[in-house]
Amino acid sequence: MDSNQILSELNTIFKDVLDNNKIQLTTATTAKDIEEWDSLSNIHLVIEIERHFKLKFTTSEIQSWKNIGELVNSIEKKTSK
Amino acid sequence: MYGQYTFSDLKSNLKKDFSGFKKVKLALLSDSASQFLNIAIKGFGYNRQLHFEIYEADYNQVDLQVSDPFSELYTFNPDFIFINFSTEKLLTAFYETESSLQGVFSDLVLQTIQKYMDVIFSRTRSKLIINTYPEINDSVFGNYSSKNEASFIYQLRKINLLLMEKSQENKDLLICDLAVLQAELGYSFISDKKMYAMADMVYSVDAVPYVAKIITDIILSYQGTFNKCLILDLDNTIWGGIIGDDGMEGIQLGHLGLGKVYTELQLWAKQLKQRGILLAICSKNTEEIAKEPFIKHPDMVLRMDDIAMFVANWETKVENIRYIQSILNIGFDSMVFVDDNPFEREMVKSAIPELTVPDLPEDPANYLAYLRSLNLFETASFTEEDSERTKQYQEETLRNILQRSFDNGNDFLANLGMTAIVKTFDEFCIPRVAQLTQRSNQFNLRTIRYTEEDIRFLCKDPDFLTISLSLEDRIGHHGLIAVIILKKQDEYSLFIDTWIMSCRVLKRGMENFTMNMIIDLAKENNFEKIIGEYLPTNKNGIVTNHYKDLGFELMDNKWFLDVASYQEKNTFITNSNKAWTAIRY
């Protein structure tokens, strides 16, 4: 799966979980850019992302992402294996 | 079945319209992060038409919220308090306990819980829900733990048992059995170590809907919403095969074919019947053929006297279920219909949406485990009268037949030979009285729910007068069927705090008899006015005109009756205890 495809699928998950249809993710997006994205919804996001892409992150991976781009990279690495 | 609600489903329910749903105030105190649980409970409430108003205490504030008399907990004034303890925190506390005290760790935990109970029950009228602990063997002693009192799993199991014992001692302590949930789903399903590490959440996102269901089940049963009747299909539901085709010898029961599956299902149904659940049969069959196994088959567990109503004919199931409902006179929303045939189920579901119709798995081998997992028969009480309920409904059918032999209702009533036993509440009747206040929805003027503790409390209060009424006739005993609680409003007036009657005795003139009793009591004690009130709910429409029909007059939403000008009402019921008005202030 290429990174654009991942980004677009992530966008759907974010809209859904955060209940905000206006979200437009880019690789530079961070939690600061989206009001609904707090520590609680972050957990819910991670669970839904894991479920959607059928993969598991480690806790340190989850804590390492600085922006959406790094999350996309993580997913790309795991799905290409 | 309730696994079908995912956390996301429940979360999206929060945006829906809760107006018109029953409101319940729930305080959620937790020693782990409880935000997801909060969302799930509120969302689950929507599926059961409950509008939860939830106060969620800040993280790990149990002790502070309970001990501080000015805490948000007490300001909130909840109907229910759920204190959610986690095994993870228990384990940490166990490790922090001096090793010389680890052998009595369960006693220490129970002391804390007792302390919480004392404080909460002295400051509020709330019910307290505490969970049992899911089991972890910390593998310090391995299987040797059983031999060592000071092992964690030994102490944990002891705590769970002591919690159950404590809830038997105290009616307002309710148990949310997470240990059983874990037994069903497994520890790896209900916990999520990653969420625990990152956010201190102990339950997995897949587990919270199940916890929410347990909490909702408990609360609904204490609000008077629970199932009272199980309607069973016959062919391929309670025996294997088709009685009309396979005959008595051919149906699968006991050791024949898959018989064990059906026999075990019947054993379960019989236990439910003994607990007070009415069993009804609804089958497309010729009646005599359908009844034959109940009378003659050696491996049948259910017999004719276990069945409150037996309906076998060639009408549609929808019509027959409506008929059963009309005779038993309980709401569709308190009935469960079990049928192996998906087509019949869909027909019934779409015609009677209030009815609970479980989607049985395809394989009969899974029927019983599936039905058990749904927890369809949650209850808030159990009294000795419950086990008599089926017999009473059977007698009711006999009365119906007798009634048809009379041209007019009064002749029938006169012929019944009804006698009432009138008493003030005593220790024997308190469980049943409390239960009537919990269960009765229709003939209930103000729908005030009381626990046994409440009733005992009010028996001691000199401002209250209580009357319990039991009824019998030449066909049988109805048991305790009406409850009156009167409160002295001032020197001259008595307020009817509670007037409840079981719908089993509608149209017997019990209202007239009871009113005469209230007047006698008022006269004996020199009251001049009786004041009644009707608080409408979705279910008590049948008593809208109750006070009007008895001659009360409406003023400012209250009903007034002048004792002196009361005309004694006609009744066919005799009082077995003429001296009963000896109860007085």
- Kindly report, residue by residue over B427-462, the tens digit of the pLDDT: 889 999 999 999 899 999 999 999 888 999 999 999
Cα–Cα distances in Å, from B491 out to B463, B528, B557, B585? 11, 9, 21, 11
Q: Which of residues 285-304 of B touch A (CB under 8 A)?
A: none
pLDDT of B3: 45
Amino acid B578: pLDDT: 63
Provide the residue ranges of all domains of chain A, joining segments of one domain with +.
3-80
The total number of residues written for chain B in this structure:
585
Identify residue B499 by its one-letter amino acid code. W
Q: Kindly determine whether residue B198 and residue A48, on different chains, have CB atoms separated by under 8 Å.
A: no
Quick one: which of B79, B53, B83 has its CA closest to B65? Answer: B83
Decide if B200 touches A, using CB distance below 8 A.
Answer: no
Judge contact between B241 and B299, C-beta under 8 A.
no
Task: Tell me the DSSP string of B479-522.
Answer: EEEEEEEEEE-SSSEEEEEEEEE-GGGTTSSHHHHHHHHHHHHH
Of B12, B197, B205, the CB nearest to A44: B205
Share of chain B above pLDDT 70, in %: 98
What digits encode the pLDDT tens for the residues A44-54? 999 999 999 99
The answer on pLDDT for B356 being more than 60 is: yes
Contacts of B326 (CB under 8 A, 6+ apart): none
Min distance B14 CA to chain A CA atoms (Å): 12
CB B32 within 8 A of CB B1: no
- Shortest CA gap A50–chain B (Å): 12
Q: Are B249 and B285 in contact (CB under 8 A)?
A: no
Judged by CB atoms closer than 8 Å, whether chains meet at A59 and B197 is answered as yes
Mean pLDDT confidence for B403-424: 88
Phi, psi dihedral angles at B361 (to 5 degrees)? -65, 165
The token pair at B53 is 């108003």
Is 0.95 surpassed by the pTM of this model? no
DSSP string over B1-18? -GGGS-HHHHHHHTTS--
Q: Name the residue among B12, B199, B205 with its Cβ closest to that of A39.
A: B199
Closest to B330 measured CA to CA, from B233, B223, B439, B413: B439
pLDDT in tens, B126-164: 999 999 999 999 999 999 999 999 999 999 999 999 999
- pLDDT at site B59: 87
Q: Read off the amino acid at residue B283.
A: S
Structure tokens at B141: 């002693």
Residue of chain A whose alpha carbon sits nearest to that of B6 = A48
Q: Which residues of chain A make contact with B205, given a CB cutoff of 8 A?
A: 43-44, 47
| Site from B9, B194, B200 to mutate, A interface, most A CB atoms within 10 angstroms | B194
Contact yes or no for B458/B448 (Cβ under 8 A): no
Angstrom CA distances, B324 to B193, B377, B404, stand at 50, 19, 18
CA–CA distance, B390 with A16 (Å, rounded to integer) = 50
Residue B84 pLDDT > 90, yes or no?
yes
CB B244 within 8 A of CB B289: yes
Q: If pLDDT is split at 50, 70 and 90, which confidence band does B256 have?
A: confident
Residue of A59, A61, A62, A65 to mutate, interface with B, max B Cβ within 10 Å: A59
A vs B, Cβ pairs < 8 A, gives: 28
- Asked if A60 is an interface residue toward chain B (Cβ–Cβ < 8 A), one would say no
Least Cα separation, residue B514 to chain A (angstroms): 57
Q: Tell me if A40 and B198 make a contact (CB, 8 A cut-off).
A: no
Instruction: Provide the pairing of β-strand B80-84 with B22-30.
Output: parallel
Beta-carbon separation of B201 and A44 below 8 A: no
Cβ within 8 Å of A, B 322-341: none
Residues from chain A contacting residue B7 (CB–CB below 8 Å): 44
Q: Which residues contact B97 (CB under 8 A, 6 or more apart)?
A: B105, B108
CA distance linking residue B391 with residue B436, whole number of Å: 18
Residues ≥6 apart with Cβ < 8 Å to A34: A14, A18, A20, A23
Gap between the Cα atoms of B351 and B449, Å rounded: 32
Query: Do B123 and B69 meet the contact criterion of CB atoms below 8 Å apart?
Result: yes
Give the ipTM of the model, two decimals please. Answer: 0.89
Mutation choice for B interface testing from A40, A61, A62 by most B CBs within 10 A: A40
CATH superfamily ID and name for A3-80: ACP-like (1.10.1200.10)
Tell the residue number behind the tokens 């992402």, with chain if given.
Answer: A65
Residue B585 in this model has a pLDDT that exceeds 50: no
For residue B111, CA distances in Å to B30, B64, B296 come to 18, 16, 56
Helix (H, G, I), strand (E, B) or coil at B461: coil
B205 to A47: CB separation less than 8 angstroms, yes or no: yes
Residue B237 dihedral angles phi and psi, to the nearest 5°: -120, -55
Burial class (CB in 10 A: 0-12, 13-18, 19+), B582: exposed
**In the prediction, which pLDDT does B582 show?**
42
Mean pLDDT score of chain B? 93
What confidence tier does B584 reach under pLDDT thresholds 50, 70, 90?
Answer: very low
Q: Encoding tokens for residue B455?
A: 């009733």
